[in-house]
Structure 1
Amino acid sequence: MDPIDTLPLPSRLDVEAPMIATARFAIGDVVRHRMFDIRGVIFDVDPVFANSDDWYDAIPEQIRPAKDQPFYHLLAENAESSYVAYVSQQNLLPDDSDEPIEHPAMAGLFNGYADGRYLLKREHRH
């Protein structure tokens, strides 16, 4: 008998499978924030929260999102400025305004717009 065959197998209760989070939005989608006057285009997504604890703790507790959901990296803009935002899925809605995103980093990541989505440049695709 092979020594590996004598090792005990873990019971089903001992095995922890990662939670499967389904992303509601895709790279290139235009979205807006549910609570704040922010809109932007998604350029990356994390399946669960992947920022610092300090960043997370700075969010007021009464509106702090759960960590076990997708978080999106946005080229974001509001009436005053353009910036990069990190937003939970629960706080995003589709933006159907058909207004272009005018973030200065757009030309570096995207090369067009079709079917309601910005097209990621080939060199940035995985």
Structure 2
Amino acid sequence: MERAEFFSSQAGRTIVAPLQIRANFGIGDVVRHRMFAFRGVVFDVDPVFANSEEWYESIPEDIRPRRDQPFYHLLAENDDSSYVAYVSQANLISDAEGGPVDHPTVRQLFDSFKDGRYRMRAALTH
């Protein structure tokens, strides 16, 4: 199986991931959590788990997601607040509501919302 390396600034280390893993969502997609009442816009994607061991172990074992799947960084919101979330692919679905996300950082990263997704600011793309 072919593998690729990427550096995770979140984990502070290099992560090795199988090449056949495919992300279901991309930067700018609006998604919803399968179990918890929040939604958000994707602003970064890790091909496999790349957060701290402490963060991973804090998830109750009976709902802890597998590490060998994409994990998404979200500008998230619920009825009470806005925050940044790190969520496994298995726990996300497309947001059927399709409306904009009301997170204060959205305007710093994205410049428009069209057809149910955000467009990254041109200055932030490479």
The structure richer in strand per residue is 2
Cα root mean square deviation, aligned: 1.0
- Give ranges in structure 2 of 5+ residues lacking alignment: 4-17
- Three-state SS of the structure 2 residue aligned to 1:108 is helix
CA separation in 1, counterparts of 2:26 and 2:35? 21
CA separation in 2, counterparts of 1:65 and 1:94? 18
CA separation in 1, counterparts of 2:32 and 2:24? 13
User: Per-residue CA shift, 1:20-66, capped at 9, x if unaligned?
Assistant: 21000010000000000010000000000000000000000000000
Report the AA paired with residue 96 of structure 1.
Answer: A
TM-score by length of 2: 0.85
- Residue equivalent to 2:2: 17
CA separation in 1, counterparts of 2:107 and 2:26? 18
Number of matched residues? 111
CA separation in 2, counterparts of 1:37 and 1:17? 37
CA separation in 2, counterparts of 1:68 and 1:123? 32
- Residue equivalent to 2:26: 26
Report the AA paired with residue 28 of structure 1.
Answer: G
If you compute each CA radius of gyration, which structure gives the higher value, 1 or 2? 1
CA separation in 1, counterparts of 2:110 and 2:65? 29
- Residue equivalent to 1:122: 122
- Residue equivalent to 1:71: 71
TM superposition outliers: structure 1 runs of 4+ over 4 Å:
none
Report the AA paired with residue 121 of structure 1.
Answer: R
- Give ranges in structure 1 of 5+ residues lacking alignment: 1-15
CA separation in 2, counterparts of 1:87 and 1:48? 11
